[in-house]
Structure 1
Amino acid sequence: MKKLLIFTFSALMLLSSCVSKKEYTALEAKQKETQDLLNTATVKLNSCLADKSAAVARTTALEEQIADLRKNNDNLTVLSAKGASNIEKTLESIKEKELKITRLQDALTKKDSITLAVVTSLKREVGINDPDIEINVEKGVVFISIADKLLFQSGSYNVTTRAKEVLAKVAKVVNSKPDFECMVEGHTDNVPYQSGVLLDNWDLSVKRSTSIIRVLQSLGVNPGQLIAAGRADYVPLVENNTAENRAKNRRTRIVVLPKIDQFYDMVEKEMKNLSAGTK
């Protein structure tokens, strides 16, 4: 009976690891898709800004022409009804394009402003003086990297009391941002895991991720915002050739980011509006 329970638990852990890895891979692909869209949108925006500058200069010249013509009643006859109508249409088109450009700029800068606010909140809540906790931004995404010695005992996936204090501060920031997702990545060194019911470092990394997620959930974080992911020893910070380097590689990384789908839809909508306006 005991062997059957151990076998069943191991199977469940393997299934959990596979699902978490799939979710992580999907999120990574979605993030890359969004980054590509951002790059395309930036190129489009720069082109539109150049068009806007030329259009504004043309508008200024036209407005000066209208002012000069209105000062001289004799010259008003030169300005035909058709010419005046074309000028009005040009001015209206420029105003519409300016509005679309402004909305696209808002879409592109919204994520950066939100990211800055999150980093500021995290550094205030978690603190930046602890060498075992790093908070930084890579490609517009906020990362919190916590050394394993703060989170777990060696070879264990039980969260320590000190870790719960740090995670309580992280939870406070995440709870204030209901439109954010929080992905917890477990990382190990390359020493094979050979104790307990877990099979390998894949199991250990995912199990540590889910342990932290349960703590965050107990602290009031909406489980719908949480994603469990394990990277085992395949994304090291440094070579696993010394005890010190292996300690650096044993870490948990918490990725805090706006929900990709919401941001993707926002930029896509503004890109379509801008493209329609240039046809």
Structure 2
Amino acid sequence: MKQKMLYLPMAILSIALLSSGCVGSKKYTQLQTQYTDLQTKHKELDLKYLNSQHDLANAQSRVKNLEEQIESYRSNVASLQTALDKCLTNSNQGNANISKLVDEINASNRYIQHLVNTKNKSDSLNMVLTNNLTRSLSREEMRDVDVQVLKGVVYISLSDNMLYKSGSYEISAQAGETLSKIAKIIKDYSDYDVLIEGNTDSMPISKTNIRNNWDLSALRASSVVQALQNEYGVNPKRLTAGGRGEYNPVASNDTNEGRTKNRRTQIIITPKLDQFMELIDKAPESSQEDSE
């Protein structure tokens, strides 16, 4: 029933256009094909975006679990140290028990250090990436680019004034140099995944073949993805495009300044955290061998 209601206006419009002679049959068929293609692409982009958001949430959860495990191991080491101290003060304890406790403490310390080093390496790479990017951008470019690191993820926010023509998803000529610098950083850090996320303000849009802000935000993200792939050589397997429309504001839409901040495209760079999952599931081999 819902699908019939969706197609009914199109059917009425088709009859009206053909009967009034506003457009020819061939032109109408072309428009209908373009509209159908856009619908299909929009659904594909939405699905890919939802999957990437799910992966990003999982990655952030893994980092939190890793930090909790580090804290748990530190607590365990403290308990083992206390037990060892008691053992040393008790002359009735055998040397075998003391030796075992020492081995456990040493193995736990090595494991903790391994976890800390792995996390610090990821944090350091993020900071180096951010510093390299900000140093490569001019003072003028930095007015339209905001770079932040939040919870182990690098966020590069680009204003729509710099990227696109007004109300369009076509990338402007002036954005090319900035995108090329960002693409170079992305290519230098090949172990990172990249999510391109389009955002708009709440003002309604009325454009041919763009139904609403959802469409506009998704199409803008797709334009950036294709530019990174086709013009700057970024591996498309690392890229995901998604649109959030007007529903992820960073400021109030009641003012011009707020709407300007909300019209943005974010390039979200996340490290692949498979190694963290392996660390959470089991201790490093060196620790296991030493403790046996």
Both structures adopt the same fold (TM-score exceeding 0.5): yes
Gaps of 5+ in 2: 1-28
Task: Identify which of structures 1 and 2 has the higher relative contact order when contacts are C-alpha pairs closer than 8 Å and 6+ apart.
Answer: 1
- 1:188 paired with 2:182, answer no
CA root-mean-square deviation = 3.1
User: Following the alignment from structure 1 to structure 2, what is the Cα–Cα distance between the partners of residues 87 and 177?
Assistant: 47
Residue of structure 2 equivalent to 1:73:
none
| Residue 93 to residue 42, structure 1, CA distance change in 2 (3 Å) | closer
Residue of structure 2 equivalent to 1:201:
213
- Cα offsets for 1:106-151 (capped at 9, x unmatched): 2332321221121122122235662211111112211111111110
| Residue 52 to residue 169, structure 1, CA distance change in 2 (3 Å) | farther
| Residue 155 to residue 125, structure 1, CA distance change in 2 (3 Å) | same
Match of 1:14 among 42, 53, 61: 42
Residue of structure 2 equivalent to 1:23:
51
Amino acid at match of 2:246: D
Residue of structure 1 equivalent to 2:271:
258
| Residue 47 to residue 173, structure 1, CA distance change in 2 (3 Å) | same
Structure 1 residue 166: Cα displacement: 0.7
User: Following the alignment from structure 1 to structure 2, what is the Cα–Cα distance between the partners of residues 54 and 110?
Assistant: 31
| Residue 162 to residue 54, structure 1, CA distance change in 2 (3 Å) | farther
Matched-pair identity in %:
31
Gaps of 5+ in 1: 66-78
Match of 1:58 among 85, 91, 98: 85
- 1:5 paired with 2:33, answer yes
| Residue 271 to residue 226, structure 1, CA distance change in 2 (3 Å) | same
How many residues end up aligned between the 2 structures? Answer: 260
Amino acid at match of 1:179: D
Structure 1 residue 272: Cα displacement: 11
User: Tell me, what secondary structure is at the counterpart of 1:100?
Assistant: helix
Residue of structure 1 equivalent to 2:95:
84
The answer as to whether partners of 1:184 and 1:255 remain within 8 angstroms in 2 is yes
Moved over 6 A (4+): 271-275
Structure 1 residue 274: Cα displacement: 8.5
Match of 1:221 among 234, 241, 258: 234
Match of 2:156 among 141, 144, 147: 144
| Residue 263 to residue 173, structure 1, CA distance change in 2 (3 Å) | farther
User: Tell me, what secondary structure is at the counterpart of 1:195?
Assistant: coil
User: Following the alignment from structure 1 to structure 2, what is the Cα–Cα distance between the partners of residues 260 and 126?
Assistant: 28
Structure 1 residue 256: Cα displacement: 1.0
| Residue 197 to residue 236, structure 1, CA distance change in 2 (3 Å) | same
Residue of structure 2 equivalent to 1:74:
none
| Residue 271 to residue 231, structure 1, CA distance change in 2 (3 Å) | farther
